[in-house]
Amino acid sequence: MKIKLLFFAQVQRIIGEKEVNTEFNGKTLYDVKVFVGNLYPNVINVLENSMFALNMEYCPPETIINEGDEIAIIPPVEGG
């Protein structure tokens, strides 16, 4: 299925993209986390503490993904 991934803050800087449309074969938001970690190994540590939003709504890892969904990956706030 096709999904859209949106990257913010640290994740966006590490990956170098704001968004990616991709083919995805998983079923849940947790599967998205694993998928992104496999595609971009440099963000694995950041993904551990990131929030995931499905179609602009924060959801738990077991949430089911459907064709055309938009998943935002939002890492913890940086600052000093």
* DSSP state at residue 18: S
Q: Which pLDDT band holds residue 79 (cuts at 50, 70, 90)?
A: low
CATH number of the domain enclosing 33: 3.10.20.30
Q: What integer pLDDT is reported at residue 40 of this predicted model?
A: 96
Domain assignment of residue 79, yes or no: no
Can you name the residues that pair with 28 across neighbouring β-strands? 64
* Domain interval for residue 24: 2-74
Q: What are phi and psi of 24, to 5 degrees?
A: -135, 135
CB 3 within 8 A of CB 65: yes
Q: Which two tokens stand for residue 3?
A: 């999904």
Three-state secondary-structure class, residue 8: coil
For 9-39, how does the pLDDT look when each residue is reduced to its tens digit (9 = 90+)?
999 999 999 999 999 999 999 999 999 999 9
Three-state secondary-structure class, residue 7: strand
Q: What integer pLDDT is reported at residue 77 of this predicted model?
A: 80
Its pTM stands at 0.92
For 51-63, how does the pLDDT look when each residue is reduced to its tens digit (9 = 90+)?
999 999 999 999 9
Alpha helices in 16-72 (DSSP H): 29-39, 44-47
Domain assignment of residue 80, yes or no: no
The yes-or-no verdict on residue 65 having pLDDT over 70 is yes
Number of domains in the chain: 1
Domain assignment of residue 42, yes or no: yes
